Amino acid sequence: MLVHRFLETSADRYPDHDALVHLGERISYLDLEHRANRLANTMLESGVKSGDRVAVLIDSSINYVIAYFAILKAGAAVVALNTVTTAKIVRNVLKDCRPSAVIVHEKRAALLKEIIPELTELKMVVVDGSVDSLENGHSSRTVALDDVFRSADPGRPGKDIRAGALASIIYTSGTTGDPRGVMLSHLNLQSNTDAIVEYLHLTHEDKVMACLPFFYSYGNSLLLTHFRVGGTVVIDGRFAFPNVVLEVMSEEKVTGFSGVPSTFAILMHKSNFTKYNWDHLRYLTQAGGPMTPALTMKITQAVPQVKIFIMYGQTEASARLSYLEPDMLFEKIGSIGKAIPGVTLTVRDNGRVCQPGEVGEIVAQGDNIMMGYWNQPEATAGVLKEDGLHTGDLALCDDDGYLFIVSRKSDMIKSGAHRISPKEIEEALAEHDDIIESAVVGIPDEIMGEVIKAVVVLRSDSTATERDILRHCQRSLPPFKVPKVIEFRNNLPKTASGKVRRHVLREAG
């Protein structure tokens, strides 16, 4: 099934059922379907073709979801951008994917003003809000989303699209920090969606609280799985104020909640989660990094009747690769479980399948595995091999077939819902005149999982302070990539070949 058929099928089966709830606003499947059709038809009339890329720079909202499905209906591919970003990052991504259309919220329009004239293949810009926010003088057509909803054709476009066609490009920093666009087909997303629906036993009666952003593969999977079955997605990005979100969860009587480890740490340590009646809550899912056994125990004690699914995956796998069934949570605590339906996972060492207890790299096979990295054949060849997707994660398998992550081959930092490359931050630090060299690592944090630590070597005559370094970072990096800890050293620990010994810096805390 093509991904946009999730919406169309649910609109046919449950036309009046709430598809989305956002800050008190509700929209039914039928109304959502009509709005998506109007936008899709407008894009087609403007010259958007099958295989084109359409960028979306809108926070998670009803209009984001409309844009997402409209792009797919038009036969194009969604390029959803992180909204906590800089103009430089937006430029790099858009220059790489060369979109034929951009859909942007008026409050993000400033990020595009200087970039749009450089996008030679751009045919149209759709603004969620006032078009006056985007005065660019470019020849592309600029329209207001509200005008599209009022006047465009609400009929289904009926484009002929293959299951193997490109549906989405999700940009991730990758192990080197260079932007990598993960190409996912309709088949990739449909396969992963159906597997998750199967093991979570989702139905149209389910209602999930979506705090994770939709541009993030985990957040995207929440949207797709619930639209697949005609369920309801409650969108609330105000998790900086967790008790506000908890109140909405209680009022809406959600059946599901998903988060990364820091999400649950906040719930357990900085919210009123334990004071609510959660009789309506059926399940919790956790992914995005390892959750400590102590935190897992706190959650189960708080909501003993709720099924907790520990999950593991990668954007390159359309999100999900394995899950630990709730009944095995304590017997196999610390495990990422076994492969999801339709996926084969093996632990390999130089091509050889490891025996139980031996450490090797997790290699995955299945219809959910990405098509490759956009415009990066060498990077693609480095991870997609004859035996499957090489995840870069080291693990072992026990005698019962359960997987346990040992470490990551990558130096990527997992802070909350973000994956952060040390290289990008080190490059920003290198632009400071007083910094000779630096190394960036993640150090443990009870709430965020990891926070960013920058170890800096200054010129001998420098008078730069921690505040000076932080201000420099704040000017060139989005907030979630600004280091939380700055440590000054006379030199960095290195190997004989001159490579920084990052593990020494991490262990120093």
CA angle 103, 108, 111 (to 5 degrees): 100
CATH topology match: 188-408 vs 415-508: no
pLDDT of amino acid 497: 38
**d(Cα 413, Cα 392) in Å, to the nearest integer?**
14
Residue with tokens 């932080």: 470
Q: What is the dihedral of CA 365, 370, 376, 381, to 10 degrees?
A: 10
Q: Are 410 and 392 in contact (CB under 8 A)?
A: yes
Q: How many residues does the chain have?
A: 509
pLDDT of amino acid 138: 61
Helix axes 242-252, 261-269, angle to 10 degrees: 90
**pTM of the entire predicted model:** 0.86
**d(Cα 49, Cα 121) in Å, to the nearest integer?**
12
**d(Cα 321, Cα 370) in Å, to the nearest integer?**
12
pLDDT of amino acid 85: 86
| Pairing outcome for strands 207-210 and 232-235 | parallel
Domain covering 415-508, topology: GMP Synthetase; Chain A, domain 3 (3.30.300)
**d(Cα 415, Cα 417) in Å, to the nearest integer?**
6
pLDDT of amino acid 409: 66
Report CA torsion sign: 115, 108, 413, 472. Answer: positive
For the chain, the domains span 26-161, 188-408, 415-508
Helix axes 4-13, 217-229, angle to 10 degrees: 30
Q: Are 370 and 317 in contact (CB under 8 A)?
A: yes
3-state helix vs strand vs coil in the chain, percent to 5: 35, 30, 40
CA angle 468, 487, 506 (to 5 degrees): 140
Q: Which residues contact 496 (CB under 8 A, 6 or more apart)?
A: none
Question: Which of 189, 394, 389, 187 shows the shortest CA–CA distance to 290?
Answer: 394
Domain covering 188-408, topology: Rossmann fold (3.40.50)
Retrieve residue 439's tokens. 């190394």
**Contacts of range 181-184, beta carbons closer than 8 Å, 24 or more positions apart:** 181/79, 181/93, 181/96, 181/97, 181/373, 181/374, 181/375, 181/376, 182/217, 182/315, 182/316, 182/370, 182/373, 182/374, 183/77, 183/370, 183/371, 183/372, 183/373, 183/374, 184/318, 184/370, 184/371
**d(Cα 228, Cα 74) in Å, to the nearest integer?**
19
Give Dmax (Cα) for the chain. 71
Residue with tokens 């949207």: 223
Q: What is the pLDDT along the chain (509 residues), one digit of tens a residue?
A: 899 999 999 999 999 999 999 999 999 999 999 999 999 999 999 999 999 999 999 999 999 999 999 999 999 999 999 998 888 889 999 999 999 999 999 999 999 988 988 898 999 999 999 988 786 556 668 999 999 999 999 999 989 999 999 999 999 854 345 679 999 999 999 999 999 999 999 999 999 999 999 999 999 999 999 999 999 999 999 998 999 999 999 999 999 999 988 888 889 888 999 999 999 999 999 998 777 787 898 899 999 999 999 999 999 999 999 999 999 999 999 899 999 999 999 999 988 999 999 989 999 999 999 999 999 999 999 999 999 999 998 899 999 999 998 866 667 788 888 878 787 788 889 889 899 888 899 998 888 889 999 999 998 889 999 999 999 999 989 999 999 999 999 988 875 434 577 778 887 76
Question: Which of 191, 419, 164 shows the shortest CA–CA distance to 289?
Answer: 419
Q: Are 208 and 234 in contact (CB under 8 A)?
A: yes
**d(Cα 404, Cα 396) in Å, to the nearest integer?**
5
In the DSSP assignment, the letter for residue 355 is P
Q: Which CATH class is domain 26-161?
A: alpha beta
